Structure 1
Amino acid sequence: MRSRSKTPVERVLQFCDLLNMIPIRVGQAAAWLLVPMVLLIAYDVIARRYLRHLDWIIDNDLHHIMNSSKIQDSEWHFSAALMFLSLGYAAAKNVQIRLDLFRDRFSARTRVAIELAGTVVLWIPYLTVATIYGYEYVQAAFLTNEQSSVLTGLPNRWIIKSTLAIGFTLTLLAALSFVLRATIWLWGPYEYRAHTRLEDISGDSEVADQDPSRSS
């Protein structure tokens, strides 16, 4: 028995899931950067506060290990990479910060329409420009062999700068996915509303309960 072919709306929603999957997977992987970042910060604090005063550290002139510019550079590198690579995850999950002062006064349709308008008019143009300039930023750092401002710091500054451009790219993918899903929510068949997974924005929990993918 032949399986039912997907409708155009279902194909668009499947494409949206693919767009969302990329920033979500990258964000989940980037979350592990928190572990080395915390370990480095803990080591830096302990070394500066206690270890550098030990006699054997002083006798063997190991202060450079206790006060390494590479360690300090690595701390903010991990922090920046974690933040930039998680931007797309937050956008794909619809958990980015919003000003909800008047949100409860609006209907579900108005909420989604406002989000869609803001994304198309403000968010996507900004992300597009930021992505383009972000890669130019990385290219300039690579071509000039930009290094740390500290002589003993980390080299290849283009590596950490690339996370900025990648982060904007991932967020742009999530924003495009949202535009498609919001369009379906507003003007598509009602039975597909639950599959757009916009109940966090619309506040329409009854529609969310109809999504079979959420019952498991």
Structure 2
Amino acid sequence: MEARTPTTRVLRFCDFLDAIPVRIGQVAAWLLVPMVLIILYDVTARRYFRHLDWVIENDLQHFMNSSKIQDSEWHFSAALMFLSMGYAASRNIQIRLDLFREKFTAPCRVAVELAGTLVLWLPYLIIATFYGVDYVLDAYLTNEQSHTLTGLPHRWVIKTTLAVGFMLALLAAISLVLRASVWLLGPMEDRRAARLESVSGEIEAGQPRK
């Protein structure tokens, strides 16, 4: 039976934090399907069917050039991006611009990751989450609508995905801080348990944590 040490408790808590954005990101990935279908319908209908005689005679043009359809396209795209931010952070597959990282040792890489998260990423996510919630409340209380008269109503719905996305990324950032602290400060056997191989450079980024 595995001993329950403070380190194992911290890492179990990290697993719990990571599981939330990962599961939500996996579900959100399915938004790609309706988004692609709507875009295909919009492009095809406007290009090939909108000017047909039977469409004009039956007054069907508004089904093929609807502001609601165009709003739906970017709504699905935005929701997919926002709800996947936490997944990308938990799996360490976010876009990076690493100019010097390859020359660093593994401890230096983890230390830089920890410092960058504490100084830059974590404060940004806290501020963005705070103002993101305020952003949603303002849209809800003012009953914000689409800028076009025939667009989608309830703009607060899509704005909610922005706030939730920052919250999920915040959970992933907290998990990263705890894992990096265990990796740097704990005994050598805790490094493998922290599962930061993609950060330290021991495996490629994007490998799932087992």
- Give TM-score scaled by structure 1 length: 0.92
Q: In the alignment, which residue of structure 2 is the partner of 1:89? A: 87
How do 1:51-62 and structure 2 match up within 5 A? 51-62=49-60
CA distance in 1, matches of 2:94, 2:164: 18
CA distance in 2, matches of 1:147, 1:53: 30
Structure 2: 5+ residue stretches without partners: 204-208
How do 1:18-97 and structure 2 match up within 5 A? 18-97=16-95
CA distance in 1, matches of 2:35, 2:94: 23
Q: Deviations over 1:169-206 (max 9, x none)?
A: 0000000000000000001121111121111111135x
CA distance in 2, matches of 1:73, 1:204: 43
Cα deviation for residue 92 of structure 1 reads 0.3
Please say which of residues 175-184 and 59-68 is displaced more in the overlay. Answer: 59-68
Q: Does 1:160 align with 2:150?
A: no
Q: Secondary structure at the match of 2:4?
A: coil
CA distance in 2, matches of 1:54, 1:189: 72
2:100 to 99, 102, 111: 102
Cα deviation for residue 55 of structure 1 reads 1.6
Partner letter of residue 147 of structure 1? Q
CA distance in 1, matches of 2:57, 2:179: 65
Q: May I ask how many residue pairs the two structures share in their alignment?
A: 205
CA distance in 2, matches of 1:204, 1:37: 37
Structure 1: 5+ residue stretches without partners: 206-212
Cα RMSD after superposing both structures = 1.1
CA distance in 1, matches of 2:2, 2:94: 37
Cα deviation for residue 5 of structure 1 reads 4.0
Q: Does 1:17 align with 2:15?
A: yes
Q: Deviations over 1:37-85 (max 9, x none)?
A: 0000000000000011222101111111111110000000000000000
Q: In the alignment, which residue of structure 1 is the partner of 2:114? A: 116
CA distance in 2, matches of 1:4, 1:199: 22
Q: In the alignment, which residue of structure 2 is the partner of 1:209? A: none
Please say which of residues 24-33 and 196-205 is displaced more in the overlay. Answer: 196-205
Please say which of residues 91-100 and 142-151 is displaced more in the overlay. Answer: 91-100
1:169 to 167, 173, 187: 167
- Give TM-score scaled by structure 2 length: 0.95
Please say which of residues 101-110 and 33-42 is displaced more in the overlay. Answer: 101-110
Partner letter of residue 152 of structure 1? T
Cα deviation for residue 4 of structure 1 reads 4.7
CA distance in 1, matches of 2:97, 2:42: 37
CA distance in 2, matches of 1:106, 1:99: 15
